[in-house]
Amino acid sequence: MADQNAVWGIEIGQAGLKAIRVERDRDSDELIATNFDYIAHPKILNQPDAIPDELIRDAMKTFTSRNKIENEMVAISLPGANALSRFIKLPPVESSRIAEIVKYEARQQIPFPLEEVIWDFQPVGTGTTEGTFTLEAEIGLFAMKRDQVMKNLRPFLEKKIEVELIQIAPLALFNFLYFDVLKLDPKADANPTNENILIMDMGTDSTTLIVTNGYKIWTRNIPMGGNHFTRALTKEMKLTFAKAEHLKINATRSPDPRAVFQAMKGVFTEYAAEVQKSINFFAGANRESKIVKVIGVGGAFNMSGLQKYLEQHLQSYPVERVDKFSRLVGDSVINAPLFKENISTFIVPYGLAIQQLKKTSIRTTLLPPEIANERLVRQKKPWAVVAAAGLLAGLSLSAVGYASTYSAVASPEFKSAVDESKKYADMTSGYTRDYEGKVSEYQGLRDASLSYVAGIKDDTWLEFYKALTECFPRDVAEQRDETDLSKQNRLYVDLIATELKPNLAEWYETLLPPQKIYLLDGEKETPPEGKGYLVTIVGTHYHHIPEDPEMQGANYLENTILKNLRQWTIKDEMGNVLPVRQMGISYATLISSKKSDVVIAKRDRERRQPRMNVLNAPPQTGLPGGGYPGSEGSSPMMGSEGMMEGAPQGGIYDPASMSGNPSANPGGQATTQTHLIQTDFKLQFLWKNVSKAERQPNPPDAAPAEGDAAPAT
């Protein structure tokens, strides 16, 4: 049986496997590090020539050969970039109904059927209870697609390692802050302050930010990591990825350190700007809270010059690097040279161990329920055998007593009653068999009907609109609570129309020089060929940051939707990669824009409807082809030239469905009037569909890494 006072925290990252064994002393209750392991992958998992499954399998083989983990508790992490985290404020509610309300919220917040995800929740913050009601409750909701959870769990299942806890990396970071930095105790009374700490975990492809005072949690993911610096070196210094990675790590020992840092200067600047932007957003949404310091962790944060550069650009906040664990003892581990050299990479494994040993307020887990239930049943089997043996002995002793009782009732007076009861029992069994037969018949008919339509569904247009939707700017996480229209990342779309053009070059010839400046370099001088769809988007936005010209008017469109339409692929909030240019979208440009001063009546209405209403958009006239996508009743079909034959020739979205649009909120109640800068715009781009079989993994005009696009901001 596993020792409940010791646990292995294990993280398999892009660069390697990190593991630490932590034991809780039964007498002093302090945590002791008794073992650790650090196994670097020969290649970073997302290198072009790397085979992740093989590298992970080799790391696990090395780990299990060097460490005895049979009958040990194991906690593992999941990458935060692929997880969904939501923090939801509930209205006053009966405590007994919180789980029911959270399940309803989960269906609204998680963009997948709940059967396809593994999710968990728990109260966060400092809600109060009055009688049977919970007031000011805030719920943390955490989820990940089931297939991604199983993918991370599979290396342990293959080694027959029983995992007790699966936690997303951001919450493991929170556990570290809670226990080791803030030194809080989950058994003590809550005493929150306005002072917060920001921890930034810099990985290979992204950086996770956590801001907390130990009770409330604020998270954000920046799509920049160590690989962005490596790619800058490959581009500027014409190096292979492996050589650039080595040069980045050993920049100060290179023949020309100045040239190395100069090649990465643009990435340094962009990275610092993203961190500052996140801090500003947190400060704007939490005006009573303040960040007192920044802690950098993760293997990539050890890059030479990064800490100093951030300190210079984040002048209001000291930037620290973790060089010890203040509440962990165990000289054989914490003084080991390999551990001290890589201590910042052990934050997540340490945070996992902290939770499993119940030293933090976090209790959620994404361990699949069927695994937890099967393990629980297996643990109780020995007790069930003992109970069954005792029951059998009791039945044997009572058999004699029942025999004498039976002889008293086995008389003719009881026979008629017994026969009558058997008659009704047989009748009930007959009805049950008939019902089960009808169910089987229904299932057979249903399967037969589904077989008639299997394989003929074409989801090309659904995929197109999904990709287009992800290119739109949107508010994410706590940004959804922003009430100032000038700061909201939204476009209010009046029209999305598609028109099949027999010769796309004719449209290109109508573009004016100011309209061509938004095109990619390869598109400015080369007109498109053949036929395809011209997609037109007409709408409005109110985004206007006075101190940032790049986030105003036409520049805002250029830096959001147009930027995303030029990506080869794009990632949605769950980390799923969607094609953009890869599926044939090109020549995205701003046709016109006009700024004007307006007065808006702000309405008090929650945003509950989808940003675009595809299913209930009303038919329109005067559009190319008429109606909304699919209104002609014909399914898009692939023609011999790769275009959509029989596809709908026009399409719109209902502006009334764009909740948050002040002009389309009939159920809202006007409260105030706000002066805003309104930008009316018209965008156009082309779409020549590229079938899934013909799509290339990387763009022909760029390095493969350019396909690693960021989610729409």
Average pLDDT of the residues in 97-105: 87
* pLDDT of 620 higher than 80: no
Average pLDDT of the residues in 394-413: 61
* pLDDT of 180 higher than 80: yes
pLDDT of residue 88: 87
pLDDT of residue 293: 93
pLDDT of residue 646: 37
Q: Are residues 211 and 349 in the same domain?
A: no
> How many helical (H) and strand (E) elements, i.e. helices and strands, does the chain have?
19, 25
Q: Which two tokens stand for residue 179?
A: 């226990």
* pLDDT of 372 higher than 50: yes
When mean pLDDT is compared across 570-574, 606-610, 682-686, the lowest value belongs to 606-610
* pLDDT of 154 higher than 90: yes
When mean pLDDT is compared across 255-269, 303-317, 592-606, the lowest value belongs to 592-606
Among 303, 322, 341, the domain-final residue is 322
Average pLDDT of the residues in 312-330: 90
- For the chain, the domain total comes to 4
Could you give the CA distance from residue 652 to residue 465 in angstroms, rounded to a whole number?
Answer: 11
Going by DSSP bridges, is the β-strand pair 195-202/290-297 parallel, antiparallel, or unpaired? parallel
Which residues make Cβ contacts (< 8 Å) with residue 700, sequence separation at least 6?
A: none
Could you give the CA distance from residue 385 to residue 389 in angstroms, rounded to a whole number?
Answer: 6
Could you give the CA distance from residue 151 to residue 154 in angstroms, rounded to a whole number?
Answer: 5
Q: What is the largest CA-CA distance in the chain?
A: 109
Residue pair 173/199 in contact (Cβ under 8 Å)? The answer is yes
* pLDDT of 132 higher than 60: yes
* pLDDT of 645 higher than 80: no
Q: Are residues 466 and 515 in the same domain?
A: yes
The answer to the question of residue 657 being in a domain is yes
Confidence of residue 108 (pLDDT cuts 50, 70, 90): confident
The answer to the question of residue 111 being in a domain is no
Could you give the CA distance from residue 50 to residue 575 in angstroms, rounded to a whole number?
Answer: 20
Q: Are residues 333 and 306 in the same domain?
A: no
Q: Are residues 237 and 350 in the same domain?
A: no
pLDDT of residue 702: 59
pLDDT of residue 409: 56
The answer to the question of residue 91 being in a domain is no
When mean pLDDT is compared across 302-311, 344-353, 539-548, the lowest value belongs to 302-311
The answer to the question of residue 451 being in a domain is no
Maximum mean pLDDT: which of 186-195, 231-240, 677-686 = 677-686
Q: Are residues 293 and 198 in the same domain?
A: yes
Angle separating helix axes 241-249 and 257-285, nearest 10 degrees: 80
* pLDDT of 62 higher than 80: yes
- Claim: this prediction has a pTM higher than 0.85: no
Could you give the CA distance from residue 346 to residue 301 in angstroms, rounded to a whole number?
Answer: 13
Q: Are residues 615 and 536 in the same domain?
A: yes
Give the number of other Cβ atoms within 10 Å of residue 634's Cβ.
12
The answer to the question of residue 90 being in a domain is no
Average pLDDT of the residues in 54-74: 93
Q: Are residues 337 and 273 in the same domain?
A: no
* pLDDT of 654 higher than 50: no
Confidence of residue 633 (pLDDT cuts 50, 70, 90): very low
Q: What angle do CA 677, 680, 681 make, to 5 degrees?
A: 135
When mean pLDDT is compared across 211-220, 402-411, 481-490, 685-694, the lowest value belongs to 402-411
Average pLDDT of the residues in 164-173: 95
Q: Are residues 602 and 620 in the same domain?
A: yes
Q: Percentage of the chain with pLDDT > 70?
A: 82
User: What tens digit of pLDDT does each residue of 655-706 get?
Assistant: 333 334 444 444 445 456 778 999 999 999 999 999 888 999 888 765 544 4
Token pair 């009881």 in the structure block, residue: 414
Confidence of residue 54 (pLDDT cuts 50, 70, 90): very high
Average pLDDT of the residues in 168-173: 95
| Domain membership of residue 418 as a residue range | 413-442
Q: Are residues 433 and 527 in the same domain?
A: no
Average pLDDT of the residues in 29-44: 94
The answer to the question of residue 455 being in a domain is no
The answer to the question of residue 36 being in a domain is yes
Among 322, 343, 370, the domain-final residue is 322
pLDDT of residue 71: 85
Average pLDDT of the residues in 461-471: 92
* pLDDT of 479 higher than 90: no
Could you give the CA distance from residue 547 to residue 558 in angstroms, rounded to a whole number?
Answer: 17
Average pLDDT of the residues in 148-169: 94
Listed residue (217, 214, 140) closest to 184, CA to CA:
214
Average pLDDT of the residues in 381-391: 65
Q: Are residues 486 and 421 in the same domain?
A: no
Listed residue (200, 246, 272, 263) closest to 47, CA to CA:
246
Half-sphere exposure of 96 (CA within 13 A, CB side): 2
Straight-line distance from the first to the last Cα atom of the chain, in angstroms, rounded to the nearest whole number: 48
Q: Are residues 336 and 312 in the same domain?
A: no
Q: Are residues 643 and 554 in the same domain?
A: yes
pLDDT of residue 472: 95
Confidence of residue 650 (pLDDT cuts 50, 70, 90): very low
The answer to the question of residue 200 being in a domain is yes
pLDDT of residue 70: 85
Q: Which carries the bigger pLDDT value, residue 672 or residue 29?
A: 29
Average pLDDT of the chain, as a whole number: 82
Q: Percentage of the chain with pLDDT > 90?
A: 46
Maximum mean pLDDT: which of 69-83, 391-405, 409-423 = 69-83
Q: What is the domain-level CATH number for residue 344?
A: 3.30.420.40
